Structure 1
Amino acid sequence: VYKGLDIVTAKVTKEEQAQAVHHMIDINDPLKEYTVVDFRNKALSIMDSMIKSKKTPIIVGGTNYYIESLIWQTLVDNPKRAGGDDEDSGLDESLIKVRRIDGSSNEELHKKLMQVDPDMALRVHPNNRRKVIRSLEIFEQHGVTHSEILRQQRLAAGCSLGGPLRYDNSIIFWLTCEKEVLDKRIDARVDSMMDKGLVQELLDFHELYNKDRLKKNEEADYTKGIFQSIGFKEFHNYLILSKEERDDEKGEKLLQQSIEELKRATRKYARRQHKWVRNRLVRRADRQVPPLYSLDSTDVGQWESEVYGKAVDIVSAYLDGRAPSQPALNSVITDTRIADNSTETSQYCEVCQRIFIGAQWNEHLQGAKHMKAVRRRRRQEEANEYREAVEIEGKDERAASVEAEA
């Protein structure tokens, strides 16, 4: 959606755009705030217009959370921003009020959320600043808590994840790939991005951003908008170097570290996406999920037969009103189904002094870091008990000596 930044966002090329009409590309300034609600409102208007013209929208992604906002009725609307207007003039006073506290600390914001919506506060980590502010915004705009609105959505859809399907004739294609092959592809893609000029693109934008930031007398913030994209935070330490530092040995070392971190972060993101699809689409027993078909893209030499050909056959079958020869993955899956997680709450680990949400708690308790911290704490307690015993014993000996002398 952002203008420019073609390399770091792996934007669809001009040649690929020429093969079919693409929408939602180059529509937003990278320095302007852009939310999933803004995306959804604009995308739905385009999709509905296409459907009226007897054309079939194909959603390609990408960021699963954004795709989900189009397929399901999951997000809460701002009643005064129904058109998805990005300008501040479209904000109501309650939203402006919340934006003014954006400078508050994470702890202060979470404390305010705990006062107005304790149910949601227990389900959102205090450091998840974006979600905390979003819940505060919803309460200010609607006069109803975020948790209550989501509860009503779940009642309507019978699902803990939110509302019902937006379009009842959707189908989903999931391109899968063997893990080892995918890791190699990710590494090769990062190398290709470097060859295309990724570093210079990041440097140019970093300079532009800082000029704009300094003009507005604002602190640097790499937690919003485009800065959340993989690529920015991984190169942060390199980007803030002077030109002289970037050209010396330290700069070269930081650059190589940034490249490796980008590869690592992308591989990790791919695993999260895979887990997201299985948990939110394939294994849900309580959610309205369109038929989901897995297409194996491990061997690109068989793309025509294993991916493109199968996808065309499945779509053709639906258009002809017959059942596809390949069964939907979510119709035959035998995995353990996911239970309702709408009541997940936070837990505080006194040993590690950290907060965990829902399933994270059990994972943490079984994790190596927690076990190590527990052992360290136990050794510390034993050492303290020993010192106290020695001190008491020493006091007793001194008292006996004084009594003997007396």
Structure 2
Amino acid sequence: MGNMNKVVVIVGTNASGKSGLAIELAKKFNGEIISADSRQVYKGLDVATGKITQEEMDGVPHHLIDVADPTERYTAADFARDGRKVLDDIIARGKLPIIAGGTGFYIDALLNPRLLATVPPNENLRLELEKGSVEDLFEQLRDIDPDRAGDLERKGEKNLKRRIVRAVEVALTAPEHHRETVENEPFDALWIGVRWDDNTSKERIRTRTTQRIEGGMIEEAQQLLQDGLSWERMEELGLEYKHLADYLRDKISKEELIELINRDDWRYAKRQRTWFKRNTEINWFDGGKLNDAQELVREFLK
């Protein structure tokens, strides 16, 4: 097969160091990076999402960043469609595609768009999900399929547990459905995961929040509003943005803003872990010991 259909996928929780590893591998193995982040696709959502800067890219081409207006919705289906074009182009130019990001649903949709079609019922998963609260289920849906969460919110259905349970069920079942039908897929993917222990992960999240506050996250949110982003849409963008919306309307203090962002980013990291745990193809590496990941890629490309 050569390298023609080979793809490297780098996943992990927020603040795990995925981007740094992706750049390192891209420089070593003639690669280009496809960002798989449901919010970094939007223009102007830079500081709060931790979007990589031109300087940090270090000359490595990055794709599917800043491709959508934040006032509009960019879905997993949009990502799968645009990502496939980028994948094909990178491969056609003899480069190695490296998909890096924490939005697992988008990555699965890109590597197998068929999973976006009808997903069969998963009764056991449904029963498990129904034990959760409506609020927790909706936050989980917002993480993995923000477009569907936005649809339910606009229709006034964010408190209809049955609808939310089915939406989460579809998103969580999709990767398993995908792995049952991969025989005809055109990509040979090497999955690499970056992980840290809980204490280190929490500390990295706290450090990142401080850096973002100091880096202009609040001012960026104010600019988005001035540019026409509605309060409702800002809240839909989730995580930092829903708390920034409250802060800018004087509903919470700056200290509360920081505390809530740290709390929700950690909760999100745990949900990401749960998502990626379902994928047994991922080769996990401790964040401080990534040299072995290079060797794995080298063997994969032989």
SS of equivalent to 1:10: coil
What's the counterpart of residue 292 of structure 1? 282
| Distance in 1, Cα, partners of 2:257 & 2:77 | 32
The residue type equivalent to 1:65 in the other structure is F
CA contact (8 A) 1:50 1:56 kept: yes
The residue type equivalent to 1:202 in the other structure is A
CA contact (8 A) 2:71 2:233 kept: no
CA contact (8 A) 1:7 1:201 kept: yes
Deviations 1:56-102 (A, max 9, x none): 1100102111111122341129xxxxxxxxxxxxxxxxxxxxx9998
CA contact (8 A) 2:194 2:284 kept: yes
Matches within 5 A, 1:42-121: 42-72=82-112, 73-76=114-117, 104-106=155-157
Matches within 5 A, 1:244-323: 254-278=253-277, 280-282=278-280, 291-297=281-287, 299=288, 306-307=289-290, 309-320=291-302
CA contact (8 A) 1:235 1:258 kept: yes
CA contact (8 A) 1:50 1:57 kept: yes
What's the counterpart of residue 164 of structure 1? 181
| Distance in 1, Cα, partners of 2:85 & 2:100 | 17
| Distance in 1, Cα, partners of 2:91 & 2:204 | 36
What residue ranges of structure 1 are gaps of 5+ in the alignment? 78-98, 111-123, 136-146, 214-218, 242-250, 283-290, 300-305, 321-406
| Distance in 2, Cα, partners of 1:36 & 1:100 | 13
What's the counterpart of residue 249 of structure 2? 240
Which has the greater radius of gyration? Answer: 1
| Distance in 2, Cα, partners of 1:296 & 1:103 | 41
Aligned length: 227
The residue type equivalent to 2:115 in the other structure is T
| Distance in 2, Cα, partners of 1:104 & 1:178 | 40
More strand by share: 2
| Distance in 2, Cα, partners of 1:101 & 1:177 | 34
Shift of 1:3: 1.1
The residue type equivalent to 1:70 in the other structure is L
1:125 paired to 2:162? yes
| Distance in 2, Cα, partners of 1:36 & 1:231 | 21
Higher relative CO (Cα under 8 Å, sequence separation at least 6) belongs to 2
> Superposition RMSD on alpha carbons, in Å?
3.4
| Percent identity of paired positions between Structure 1 and Structure 2 | 25
What's the counterpart of residue 372 of structure 1? none
CA 1:101–1:292 in structure 2 vs 1: closer, same or farther (change >3 Å)? closer
| Distance in 1, Cα, partners of 2:259 & 2:298 | 43
The residue type equivalent to 1:277 in the other structure is F
| Distance in 1, Cα, partners of 2:151 & 2:219 | 35
Shift of 1:318: 2.0
Calculate the TM-score normalised by the size of structure 2.
0.65
